[in-house]
Structure 1
């Protein structure tokens, strides 16, 4: 397992930290910019399943730690990796940093995975920003790999 390789994406979202944090733990909000279904709200010690119906994909997400309005530590994917979300209150809003690590791929497979995850988490943050700041549902995840 590669412990020195990680993916990091970040975005300033011009909303209070409590509102941005809630957008990531509450699937009623998160489904507006990321996955389409969830079996529940993120809560420390619990597991939920996220679904992207348009792709026929599901992922089990285990929540290891939640510090309200500060951080969420999860494990998910296949193969599973650690995905941490950090929320920093800033003068103009909230800086969200998503970091993913613990990859077991090597070589070209690792490069492809890092590239895919960097783009994916950036797209999530872009969609979240548009939704929270402007109330616009951009459908970025659905449109990333359109079907005919």
Structure 2
């Protein structure tokens, strides 16, 4: 991306963890529910539910559920190479995560792209997801480097109007 636009955004963060640990955090049920989701289910192309520590594969489908949100996200795993790249469908767009080893840390590059550019998606996907991913990547760093989680799991925010837009640790 050479310029800013509403059809994509990129977020980057250095995290002091191994590539294997970061890939596990994104590509297994146990990994992604350790820092991001309340629950996740991955289903293979053969219709079998993946085990908690079994890495996802290209062609899998998923169902994600968050803390403090009653809805769920369903999508497809478009690519998963087993080491440093995963891409999924997500909220009428695509999200890719790339990992680059930089010696003392891994550079995680998240790109959400193919975002529809109507006003509703500019607000909900571009603005909302861009803010959300900023928090969640900071949460992943805090979890892996310091053993703490920043997301809210103690207080139920679901009945607070606008909580998804106002709470920074949703």
Same fold per TM (> 0.5)? yes
Q: 1:82, 1:141 → 2: CA distance?
A: 27
Greater strand percent: which structure? 1
Q: 1:120, 1:141 → 2: CA distance?
A: 16
Counterpart in 1 of 2:96?
84
Shift of 1:43: 2.0
TM-score by length of 1: 0.84
2:58 aligned with 1:44: yes
Structure 2 portions without partners, runs of 5+: 43-54, 161-170
Q: Which of 75, 84, 89 is the matching residue for 2:89? A: 75
Q: What's the CA shift string for 1:9-42, capped at 9, x where partnerless?
A: 1111101111111110112122122111011353
Contact 2:69/2:158 (8 A) holds in 1: no
TM-score by length of 2: 0.74
SS at match of 2:7: strand
| Higher radius of gyration, 1 or 2 | 2
Q: Which of 134, 139, 149 is the matching residue for 1:137? A: 149
Contact 1:37/1:50 (8 A) holds in 2: yes
Structure 1 portions without partners, runs of 5+: none
Q: Which of 109, 117, 137 is the matching residue for 2:120? A: 109
Instruction: Give the length in aligned residue pairs.
Output: 142
Contact 1:81/1:101 (8 A) holds in 2: yes
* CA 10–139 in structure 1, closer or farther in 2 if over 3 Å, else same: same
Q: 1:16, 1:28 → 2: CA distance?
A: 17
Q: Which has the higher contact order (CA 8 A, sep 6+)?
A: 1
Counterpart in 1 of 2:74?
60
Contact 1:124/1:141 (8 A) holds in 2: no
Q: 2:148, 2:93 → 1: CA distance?
A: 30
Q: 1:122, 1:141 → 2: CA distance?
A: 18
